Amino acid sequence: MKSPFSRFQRAKRRARRKGRSHGRQGHPNREWAGGPVPYLESLHAQYSQEIRILDQRLHIIEGQSITSVEEDVADKTSEEYQINQLDKERSSYEVRLAELLQEKVGTETENPTGKAARHRHVPTWLYALALVGLAVGEYFVTLPAVEVLLNDESWKAWIITGSFSALSIIAAHLIGITFKVEIDRDKPQPGTQKLGAFVIFLGLVIVILFLSALRSRSVRNVPVSFWMSDTVFGTVLFFFIQMTFISCAIALSYYNHSEIESDISRSKRRIKRLTKKIRGLTKARLIPSRGNLTPEKREVQVSAINSAKQLLEAEYRELCSIYRNSNLLAQKTSFNNPGPGLDNPPLNV
């Protein structure tokens, strides 16, 4: 069953509406001698254009097996070359992946410390979520101290606090990676790298201590202060809170970092991507191109185009008939001979 919203169904409704409207207006009248009415001429031009497009496709099919052979040979040669290059690249990644897996497993006599440096104990998704949570907590703990420092509660304090929270978590991440790399005996790190991590940690501790001192002014009348004044108790309290955040971030970075597992994941993704490309090129190479058009395939395509042309001719005749009948029924006077105005010009199929 055809959809009422299809192109041909809409054209039928339009032809019926136009025929009824023109008939009520007395168009064409008895004295009409100018050939088909403009609607029928427009319809004839539209369907003639579609017939010409099908003729053009037919000419292309008839000539493509002659003109496209060299182009098809070049395309197939290029696809074969790309497949060979991608296959070589994939083979190198597969060899590298096998080496990484063997290195990750290690040997039975290997020191357990060396194996521990190559394993990831915290999944990456959990690590990312935990870092975001720690950064948010660090932000809200630090914000009151920054507001006191700037003597301002505007957007400047929010930006500075956000920058400090992000940088402190990033610093903890770098320190954790430094600790993890330090236990790897096969890949020792330079002394300057360890010194840089120590300097970052020392600066972070000092900044947290100063911010904790500023934050301590909000502590008043603590029930149990362990024989310390409110200011000292507040400083120690907020210092340990923020240092706990930093320590957790360092521990998460330590247990998450694994250079060899990151290399394994990258190699697997690369192999999967190359395999997908090779599969697509192989499929394209197996599909016959235009230059490999056999007589049987040509005959099928020509028959399909001729059938489409006959279908267009039938649609054109039906639309002309619908317009003519609607026009005659809407006329005030009856016609024994409608005349040339309602004659549809034939299509050249």
Dihedral sign for Cα atoms in the order 332, 333, 336, 339: negative
Query: What is the rounded distance in angstroms from the CA atom of residue 145 to the CA atom of residue 209?
Result: 11
Q: Is residue 130 part of a domain?
A: yes
Examine the fold and report which residue of 205, 235, 257 is the final residue of a domain before the chain moves on. 257
In this structure, the answer to whether residues 131 and 243 fall within a common structural domain is yes
In order, the DSSP letters of 309-324 are HHHHHHHHHHHHHHHH
Q: Measuring CA to CA, how many Å separate 273 from each of 131, 269, 285? A: 30, 6, 19
In a domain, 77, yes or no: no
Q: Which two tokens stand for residue 163?
A: 């920058």
Burial of 192: CB neighbours in 10 Å, binned 0-12, 13-18, 19+: exposed
Question: Domain limits at 169?
Answer: 120-257
Residues 256, 260, 264, CA angle at the centre, nearest 5°? 105
Scan for tokens 């049987």, then name that residue: 296
**Domain match, 253 and 302 both:** no
Assess whether 142 and 243 both reside in one domain. yes
What tokens does 27 get?
């168009």
> What's residue 1's pLDDT?
46
Is 128 found in the same domain as 237?
yes
Instruction: Tell whether 92 is covered by a domain.
Output: no
Contact assessment for residue 122 and residue 187, using Cβ atoms and an 8 Å cutoff = no
Asked if the peptide bond before residue 144 counts as cis, ω within 30 degrees of 0, the response is no
Closest CA to 180 of 167, 199, 193, 164: 193
Q: How far is C-alpha 218 from the chain's CA centre?
A: 49
Note whether residue 349 is domain-resident: no
Residue with tokens 């992946």, as numbered in its chain: 97
Count structural domains, the chain. 2
On whether both 216 and 319 belong to a single domain, the answer is no
Q: Where would I find the H helices in 33-154?
A: 38-67, 69-105, 112-116, 124-150
Cα-Cα end-to-end distance for the chain = 27
What is the distance between the alpha carbons of residues 151 and 149, in angstroms, rounded to a whole number?
6
**pTM for this model (two decimals):** 0.49
- 209 shares its domain with 126: yes
Cβ contact 35:340 at 8 Å: yes
Q: What distance lies between CA 141 and its chain's CA centroid?
A: 38
Domain annotation covers residue 270: no
Q: Identify whether residues 210 and 297 lie together within a single domain.
A: no
With beta carbons less than 8 A apart as the criterion, state whether 214 and 145 touch: yes
Q: Name the domain boundary from 210, 240, 257.
A: 257
Q: Is 283 part of a structural domain of the chain?
A: no
Predicted local distance difference test score (pLDDT) of residue 291: 54
- Asked, for residue 273, whether it belongs to a domain, the answer is no
Same structural domain for residues 127 and 243? yes
pLDDT at 293: 61
225 found inside a domain: yes
Same structural domain, 27 and 138? no
Q: What is the CA angle 50-54-345, rounded to 5?
A: 45
Instruction: With CA atoms as reference, report the closest residue to 214 among 149, 157, 165, 150.
Output: 149
Of 232, 257, 282, the last residue of a domain is 257
Q: pLDDT at position 57, please?
A: 83
The two tokens of residue 16 are: 């019926």
| 165 and 62 part of one domain | no
pLDDT tens track of the chain, all 349 residues? Answer: 467 778 888 888 998 998 888 888 877 877 777 778 888 888 889 988 998 998 888 777 766 655 555 566 667 777 888 888 988 888 898 888 888 787 777 666 665 666 666 777 778 888 888 888 888 888 887 777 777 767 766 777 788 778 888 888 888 888 888 877 777 666 667 777 778 878 888 888 888 887 777 766 665 555 555 556 666 777 777 788 888 888 888 888 888 877 778 788 888 899 999 999 888 888 877 665 555 566 676 777 788 888 888 898 999 899 988 888 888 888 877 766 667 778 788 888 7
Together in a domain, 214 and 323: no
Length of the chain measured in residues: 349
Neighbour-count burial of 202, counting CB atoms closer than 10 A to its CB (0-12 exposed, 13-18 middle, 19+ buried): exposed
The pLDDT value recorded for residue 65 is 56
**228 and 175 share one domain:** yes
* Encoded tokens for 177: 């990676």
- Angle made by CA atoms 137, 140, 143, in degrees to the nearest 5: 140
